[in-house]
Amino acid sequence: MKGIRISADEAFQERIRWLLRELGEDPDREGLLKTPERVEKMYKELTSGYRLDPNRVTNKAIFKSGYNEIILVKDMDFYSLCEHHLLPFFGTCHIAYIPGGKIIGLSKIPRLVEVFSRRLQVQERLTVQIAEYLEEVLEPKGVAVVMDGFHLCVAMRGAKKSRARMVTSSLTGVFKEDSRSRAEVLSLIHSRARG
């Protein structure tokens, strides 16, 4: 059918139909008829971070402030895709910083986690990207990012270790250089709220 152009969405869906055939399935089977469309929409959602600019997310939400103690946002859920197997990894992210004259709106921190996690990732790079971005835009005295993730590529295939978790951290400024500041922020991250 020379001359007929198909959209990128249709091309993606055709590749999913091909994959289903390669796996031994019938893409025309009732339960699979809409699967290519669902998978295409799912991957767009799970990789939406490529289409988001972190500077637009933080736009107009960075403010001057004289506050100079630790600011911590913890227990933020994150979801990402392992770039090696395209399987999900997910868990919790904790972000702390000590302002150097600027603070960021609270809601922007979880949104930044979303921007960087909604890409094909490895947890190590994801952790560093978040810390480096906050370091750049806030110019704080220090940033601490700690992520605790569960990786389906380790649980479901290969090693098949269903309880294994990965913890990564990226520390800058006083959190890296001063052992007391580091101990304080890690203690706050690991403490549980009362009540």
Closest Cα partner for 13 from 45, 34, 46, 40? 40
Does the active-site annotation cover 94?
Answer: no
- The rounded radius of gyration (Å) of the Cα atoms in the chain is 21
Catalytic hit among 13, 94, 121, 123: 123
Q: Which helix (H) or strand (E) holds 195?
A: none
As a whole number of angstroms, the distance between CA 78 and CA 147 comes to: 9
Which is catalytic among the residues 45, 83, 136, 177? 83
Catalytic annotation present for 136: no
Catalytic residue from among 10, 45, 84, 139: 84
Known catalytic residue at 190: no
Q: Mark whether 69 is an active-site residue.
A: no
The catalytic position among 85, 132, 135, 184 is 85
Q: How far apart are CA 118 and CA 144, in angstroms?
A: 20
Active site residue 123: yes
CA distance 27 to 154: 29
Q: What is the DSSP letter of 142?
A: E
- The CA distance from 180 to 13, in Å, is 54
Amino acid found at 77? D
Q: Do 6 and 78 form a contact (C-beta atoms < 8 A)?
A: no
Q: Are 57 and 112 in contact (CB under 8 A)?
A: yes
Which residue in 82, 93, 94, 121 is the catalytic one? 82
Say which of 14, 132, 135, 153 is annotated catalytic: 153
Residues in the chain: 195
Catalytic residue IDs: 82-85, 123, 151, 153
